[in-house]
Chains A and B, each alone.
Chain A
Amino acid sequence: MSSQTINLTLKVWRQNKNNPRGALETYPANNISTDMSFLEMLDVVNEELTAEGVEPIAFDHDCREGICGMCGAVVNGRAHGHMPETTLCQLHMRHFNDGDTIVIEPWRARAFPVVKDLVADSSGLDKIIQAGGYISINAGGPQDGNAIPIARDNAEKAFNAATCIGCGACVAACPNASAMLFTGAKISHLALLPQGKPEAKNRALAMVRAMDELGFGNCSNEAECEAECPKGISIREIARMNREFIKAAFS
């Protein structure tokens, strides 16, 4: 496939300590190769802004291959852009047309305060993990890997839930800024495995309570999260969390 270049107009959220309320600023993005990723496009724009003496656009990124969960922005009203099951770094400019105007905003949630421009502080998700998203083991001689039988179906389901990279797109896409898909995935992947069973009850209660205390909204089953999740995690994980919560709360 031959490479093309396209010209775009960006409307980017700019917010910093001198501009705490923030606003959308318009920048041209010219001669953008359609082979570039969205983040590479922002790199090019930032080089031009720097040359012009304008503060470059701050955005989070790390691995740039869709596995670290650092990048993410709302592009034209869609978390990680309009392509299914991709992170922002996996979104390619070939999915945009010459002359398009692209509005880029940070994740918006009370629990995700904007640090600068497109960088939102999603460490609330880490605090949910700290509340119970782990298993406690007494270290000792290593056990045989196959000593604990695990049904293949459960292993697959646990793995599917564990593909969550904690990017925060579910919160950003949720009309209520709820973190239930994230929390559901984290509770599910441990609850499905024998190693997670001993602490399942406390985990479900502690993680759900942490989610509330951090100021996330309440799930109303809009299902926008599963449609935007770059890992295709299903709201069935939320249902499983609800089951785990019911088991923990009323028994």
Chain B
Amino acid sequence: MNWFVQNISTAVGKKLLMAITGLGFLGFIAVHLAGNITFYFGKDAFLHYVETLHALGPVIVIVELVLLALAVIHVSTGTVLFTRNWQARKTRYAVDKSAGGRTIGSRTMPYTGFLILLFVILHLCQFHFIDRTQQTPYDAAVNTFSNIFYALIYIGAVILVGIHIRHGFWSLFQSLGLNHEKYMPAIRAVGIAFAIAAAVGFAFIPIYIRAVT
């Protein structure tokens, strides 16, 4: 395994780690968003979705463990990249202008990343590590979002997720070597659409819940 560790810890190897784990999260977000859409069809539809999901039993446990592993790799590699990249230029420029390559997403990648990590911890505490005999997940959502403070945190956090995806989506294809002049414009467009869909799709859930309750 020595060759594997040696290769994966190079600058290109770390890129691949970020790309593959990021791709895993995009898949998770797509499924999570699809599931959450049942919210708009009312309490019964949502609880039916939750029951169907939990009926999968061990599959869910495996998926959760995989997601945890992805998170550990993505966050730890990202932290290493963030600190190394900061050290790679000890004296900063007195005047530093963009030539037009950077986007709001690419500029803020480590910062949105760390904030999303904090949000994920909060989200898990409020919706995952709860006593489901006391309240249904639907009630948990209604209770949480009845507090305007939490509703705003959730809306803000999913906008950060959208900004993170705006750079992360096309970037992971580039990192995996999949950049071709024929396909890259389409990949970039799908990435922006995915980012908007994720941000808007999740952000409207607290708004919807506050509107109907």
- A interface residues, Cβ below 8 angstroms from B: 11, 13, 22, 24, 74, 76-79, 82, 103, 105, 108-111, 173, 175-178, 180, 205, 208-209, 211-212, 215-228, 235-236, 238-243, 245-246, 249-250
Contacts and interface: CB of A to CB of B under 8 A. Distances in A.
A250 B7 contact: yes
Contact of A205 (B7, B91, B100): B7
A219 B16 CA distance: 11
11 contacts: A76-B97, A78-B99, A178-B88, A217-B89, A220-B109, A220-B171, A221-B174, A240-B177, A243-B177, A246-B177, A249-B8
A245 B176 CA distance: 10
A224 B99 contact: yes
Contact of A24 (B94, B98, B177, B179): B94
Interface residues of B, number: 44
Contact of B88 (A177, A209, A223, A242): A177
B126 to A, nearest CB: 31
Interface in B179-194: 179-181, 184
A242 B176 contact: yes
A28 B204 CA distance: 58
B178 interface: yes
Contact of A110 (B87, B102, B106, B178): B87
B149 interface: no
Contacts, number: 136
Contact of B89 (A78, A103, A109): A109
Contacts of A216: 11, 88
B171 to A, nearest CB: 4
Contacts of A173: 99
Given A212-B10, A217-B85, A239-B174, 16 more contacts: A13-B94, A74-B95, A78-B97, A177-B88, A178-B11, A209-B10, A217-B87, A217-B88, A222-B101, A227-B99, A235-B179, A236-B179, A236-B181, A245-B10, A249-B12, A250-B7
Closest 3 pairs (CB-CB, A-B)? A217-B88, A223-B101, A77-B97
Interface in B60-115: 81, 84-85, 87-102, 106-107, 109
A88 B80 CA distance: 34
B164 interface: no
Contacts of B98: 224, 227
A220 B168 CA distance: 10
Contact of B7 (A24, A224, A249): A249
B90 A110 contact: yes
A204 to B, nearest CB: 8
Given A105-B93, A109-B89, A224 B15 contact: no
B175 interface: yes
Contacts of A205: 7
B14 interface: yes
